[in-house]
Amino acid sequence: MLLAVLLLLLLLPLPDLWTANGHPLYMRLPPSTLQVLSTQGTQALQAAQRSAHWAVKRVAMEIQHRLHECRGSGPRRPKPQAPFLQDLPEPGPCGERRLGAANMTRAHGRIVGGSAAPPGAWPWLVRLQIGGQTLCGGVLVAASWVLTAAHCFVGASNELLWTVMLAEGPQGEPGEEVPVNRILPHPKFDPKTFHNDLALVQLWTPVSAASPARPVCLPQGPREPPAGTPCAIAGWGALFEDGPEAEAVREARVPLLSADTCQRALGPGLRPSTMLCAGYLAGGIDSCQGDSGGPLTCSEAGSRPREVLFGVTSWGDGCGEPGKPGVYTRVAVFKDWLKEQMTAPSTREPSCRELLSWDPSEEPPVDATGLCAFYARLCPGSEGDCARLAHQQCLQRRRRCELRSLAHTLLGLLRGAQEVLGSRPGLRRLAPALSASLQEPPVHPAREQRLYSGSRAAETRFQKPRPEHRGETKGCPGLEHLRQRLATLQGTHAWILQVPTEHLAMNFQEVLADLGSKTLTGLFRAWVQASLGGRNVVFSCLVGLEPTTLAHSLPRLLVQALQAFRLAVLAEEEP
Ligand code: ARG
């Protein structure tokens, strides 16, 4: 024991110690560790609010959608199974650029060799992000669909990690960040050759009419305009090969090249059946790393010129090198696949995000949205038996999704902690231990409901759908159920939704470990004092005191901090 304490002192020279007869009793974690905890905790708190906000927003939008449907087509039209997901490619306007943005700067200087685009110039251009970092471009092709390159998801196929940053407005109004519901890479995408380098990304909520984001037009036929047609590329990619990424969108004009020219320039790697190339054989102007998934559009003349998406940025040999034009996936030849994917969602397994935002304890137990109907489709039994079976399978998959999302959140936190603490403990062992600590204590729904109604911040920031006349509910099947779902969600998430932005931080003031309480796993009982969401919380938990055990114990500590906060909020609302 004494040896261990001595070792400890060597490893962590900073903490304060209290002693009795020369023996240390308590130890304080040093300010540098508290700082790490505070930074990580703030991120966890923000993420928790963001996902609660998204869950609520999605149901609110479903309500709007349902109402719109009922008003538009009368109550007798048969109800589609999952109306929210049946987001057809917009038949409405597409490919329209704002006046002023249309006369693009001629390409010079430096995507590679392009120029900065004015804000809002490319309303369909989106960024695909993980943890706030842009990894690829993408193109909005319908209210809920973004087209991008399949290679963007190699090694990062978990849709729960991705968000889409929609286009900013013409005055530089920031674009909206939307979670990803599904990633559908082309089934024949080959990561070695980049053949069929195309993926559809389904947004969690469709782009609203109020957003400055607008879809581009998809080609009508299977052919591109003739070689020599000047088309446009845009993105946030590197300014030159191995160079820094652009801070703002850049654009350039590049001519389409003939299949022959492409093949001669790039050799057998170029497959003219699914790839086209564009650019200058002289070099200098091209897309580059980070532009992948972004658009190659050509304008279609007419009384109102429209931009049509003919290519999705895919690969190149260097960037802007002489004789090496950029390669783009031919969108026109994938027309049928695109249409099929965007119109057939009811035959798909529910996504993790859908399952995670579904509350299985909800009454009535049969899910009205048809979420689990997928699992009943091959069931030979009676309707009742099949419904039960489907419900079971839904629950099972939901559990797997929960683990997936949990594991990622925690690994993210852990990695952050390690970076600062500089130790590299094995990551794998952690997740199971933590899933137990994350089980939320049950809270009576009515209590959380009350909490929500009492919280003004939540009501002003997360607008409830406007009250409609009761009559509308009657003629609109499913609406009442959706409303109830919304109310429940708002209730269960109220504790985090109500935290105003300025208080969305964790600040650890003290972690005091009892040196006499070492467990078999090398952890110590500690008292933690922190301010969280503008409130002081005190709780106890286990911490490690050596770099390795400490790093391991931090994510759990953060989870417990969140829980302590939640309980404090609930307790305060208790009459
Ligand atoms: N593969 C790159 C990316 O992931 C795009 C490269 C385009 N290169 C080019 N020379 N046009 O961002």
Report the pLDDT value the prediction gives residue 459, as an integer from 0 to 100.
Answer: 33
Structure pTM? 0.70
From the CA of 324, give the closest atom in ligand 1. 10
Read off the amino acid at residue 432.
P
Tell me what percent of the residues of the chain surpass a pLDDT of 90: 40
Rounded to an integer, what distance in angstroms lies between the CA atom of residue 207 and that of residue 170? 17
Whether 309 has a pLDDT exceeding 70, the answer reads yes
Report the pLDDT value the prediction gives residue 335, as an integer from 0 to 100.
Answer: 93
319 lines ligand 1 (CB under 6 A): yes
Choice among 51, 211, 287, 292 that is catalytic: 292
Report the pLDDT value the prediction gives residue 364, as an integer from 0 to 100.
Answer: 54
518-538 pLDDT, tens digit each: 999 999 999 999 999 999 999
State the average pLDDT over residues 485-500. Answer: 87
Specify whether 469 is catalytic. Answer: no
Q: What residue ranges in 279-400 does DSSP mark as E strands?
A: 295-300, 306-315, 326-330
Q: Give the pLDDT band (50/70/90) at residue 193.
A: very high
Report the pLDDT value the prediction gives residue 12, as an integer from 0 to 100.
Answer: 45
Strand partners, 142: 145
Q: From 236, 315, 327, 329, give the residue whose CB has the most ligand 1 atoms within 8 Å, as the site to mutate.
A: 315
H or E stretch covering 429: none
Q: From 128, 154, 313, 328, give the residue whose CB has the most ligand 1 atoms within 8 Å, as the site to mutate.
A: 313
Averaged confidence pLDDT in the chain? 79
Strand partners, 311: 296, 330
When computed from its CA atoms, the radius of gyration of the chain, rounded to whole angstroms, is 27
Q: Give the pLDDT band (50/70/90) at residue 496.
A: confident
Closest CA to 320 of 287, 275, 277, 276: 287
Q: Give the pLDDT band (50/70/90) at residue 194.
A: very high
293 lines ligand 1 (CB under 6 A): no
Rounded to an integer, what distance in angstroms lies between the CA atom of residue 463 and that of residue 472? 20
Whether 512 has a pLDDT exceeding 70, the answer reads yes
Distance 142 CA to ligand 1 centre (A): 24
Rounded to an integer, what distance in angstroms lies between the CA atom of residue 114 and that of residue 284? 9
State the average pLDDT over residues 240-249. Answer: 77
Give the residue, 2 or 167, on which the prediction is more confident: 167
Report the pLDDT value the prediction gives residue 324, as an integer from 0 to 100.
Answer: 95
441-464 pLDDT, tens digit each: 334 444 444 444 333 333 323 333
Encoding tokens for residue 385? 């038996």
| Cis, peptide link before residue 442, omega less than 30° from 0 | no
Encoding tokens for residue 108? 């010079």
State the average pLDDT over residues 304-314. Answer: 94
Report the pLDDT value the prediction gives residue 491, as an integer from 0 to 100.
Answer: 85
Give the range among 27-41, 64-78, 139-153, 325-339 with minimum mean pLDDT.
64-78
Report the pLDDT value the prediction gives residue 441, as an integer from 0 to 100.
Answer: 36
Whether 241 has a pLDDT exceeding 60, the answer reads yes
Classify residue 300 as exposed, middle or buried by CB count within 10 Å of its CB (0-12, 13-18, 19+).
middle
Give the residue, 191 or 477, on which the prediction is more confident: 191
What residues contact 411, with CB distance under 8 A and at least 6 apart?
Answer: 427, 430, 431
